[in-house]
Amino acid sequence: MIMKGKKGLIVGLANDKSIAYGIAKALHEQGAQMAFTYLNEALQKRVEPIAAGFNNSPVYKLDVSDESDMGAIASKIAADFGTIDFLVHSVAFAPKEALTEGFMKTSKSAFQIAMEISVYSLIDLTNRLEPVLAPGASIITLSYLGGPKYIPNYNVMGVAKAALESTVRYMAVELGVKGQRVNAISAGPIKTLAASGIGDFKQILNWNEANAPMRKNVTIEEVGNSAMYLLSDLASGVTGEIHYVDAGYNIMGMAAVEKNSDGKSVFIWDEQK
């Protein structure tokens, strides 16, 4: 098994519909040992049963904005695992009003919160874990096309994802001298708890399905398999990359077309509405 003997931490799993769960499932199937974190008591009740299903994996409380939680995470991992070989950062947040109003109405506090939780937490967490990160450790975070491109209603989270992708590149250079790798997966839209805060998300799903080269949306299992590859030694020469898992949607420059019965090109989206 590809991940046999590998140990790691998954931060941000919310339930069995989340992308982090798809990643954990793929890692587990390939023999990895994992620890999980939860944000608060409400999520603890969801995460602990999931962790129990993955060989009774350890579970830690971790609010990335809480100094006491962040200060204790490395020692907890050291006690359970010694060192870890991988880190999955699946953390993003912006206040609701920053996703429901226009981007230009984003408040300073909402902007700062989105950047702290969604971007700086990756830097901070990696620094805190330095004592327990193995020399060849692999780190992945989760991005979205709303970083490099405009996506309706994504607003400040798009700016945060753009910053996150840039962070991946800068971290890759500084950690690369130690043999450690950092990559991001930019997944296509998936119906998750996090996505529920994006306005008109159903339309985004339908648009992607109609216009992606593969004419479908991706699953958490597909994203999980790609993440497992990036975290494994199979990707030992890959770092600083933004790896798209979106059925090819990111390559499209305009809506997909096909020939109708008259031989004329028509937009698939118009045909399916």
Condensed to tens digits (0 to 9), the pLDDT of residues 90-101 reads 999 999 999 888
Among 52-56, 155-159, 200-204, 206-210, name the one with the lowest average pLDDT.
200-204
Let me know: does 272 contact 264? Beta carbons within 8 Å. Answer: no
Give domain status of residue 83, yes or no. Answer: yes
pLDDT class for 195, splitting at 50, 70, 90? low
pTM for the predicted model, two decimal places? 0.91
Give domain status of residue 68, yes or no. Answer: yes
Domain limits at 180? 7-201+216-255
What is the 8-class DSSP label of residue 15?
S
* Torsion 241-158-201-139 (CA) sign: positive
Mean pLDDT of the chain: 92
Q: Average pLDDT in the 253-262 region?
A: 69
pLDDT class for 273, splitting at 50, 70, 90? low
Report the pLDDT value the prediction gives residue 269, as an integer from 0 to 100.
54
Q: What is the distance, to the nearest Å, from the Cα of residue 225 to the centroid of all Cα atoms in its chain?
A: 13
- CATH number for the domain that contains residue 109: 3.40.50.720
Report the pLDDT value the prediction gives residue 45, as an integer from 0 to 100.
94
pLDDT at 265 over 80: no
Give domain status of residue 157, yes or no. Answer: yes
| Catalytic residue (choose from 21, 38, 60, 154) | 154
Distance CA 182, CA 77 (A): 20
| Amino acid at position 75, single letter | S
Report the pLDDT value the prediction gives residue 87, as an integer from 0 to 100.
98
| Catalytic residue (choose from 144, 229, 244, 249) | 144
Give domain status of residue 266, yes or no. Answer: no
Residue partners of 137: CB distance under 8 A and separation at least 6: 84, 85, 86, 87, 180, 181
- For a pLDDT cut of 70, what percent of the chain falls above it? 91
Report the pLDDT value the prediction gives residue 196, as an integer from 0 to 100.
62
Give domain status of residue 267, yes or no. Answer: no
Give domain status of residue 66, yes or no. Answer: yes
What pLDDT digit, counting tens, does each position of 66-85 carry?
999 999 999 999 999 999 99
Give domain status of residue 207, yes or no. Answer: no
Report the pLDDT value the prediction gives residue 255, as an integer from 0 to 100.
81
Give domain status of residue 272, yes or no. Answer: no
Q: Average pLDDT in the 112-126 region?
A: 98
Report the pLDDT value the prediction gives residue 201, as an integer from 0 to 100.
75
What does residue 101 show for φ and ψ, rounded to 5 degrees?
-105, 175
Determine whether 150 is an active site residue: no
Distance CA 165, CA 7 (A): 25
pLDDT top residue among 59 and 206: 59
Q: Average pLDDT in the 15-32 region?
A: 96
Report the pLDDT value the prediction gives residue 174, as an integer from 0 to 100.
98
What pLDDT digit, counting tens, does each position of 37-59 carry?
999 999 999 999 999 999 999 99
Let me know: does 78 contact 58? Beta carbons within 8 Å. Answer: no
- For a pLDDT cut of 90, what percent of the chain falls above it? 82
Distance CA 27, CA 33 (A): 8
Q: Which residue in the block uniquely carries the two structure tokens 């299903």?
A: 53
Q: Average pLDDT in the 205-213 region?
A: 91
Determine whether 154 is an active site residue: yes
Domain count, the chain: 1
Report the pLDDT value the prediction gives residue 4, as an integer from 0 to 100.
97
Distance CA 155, CA 228 (A): 30
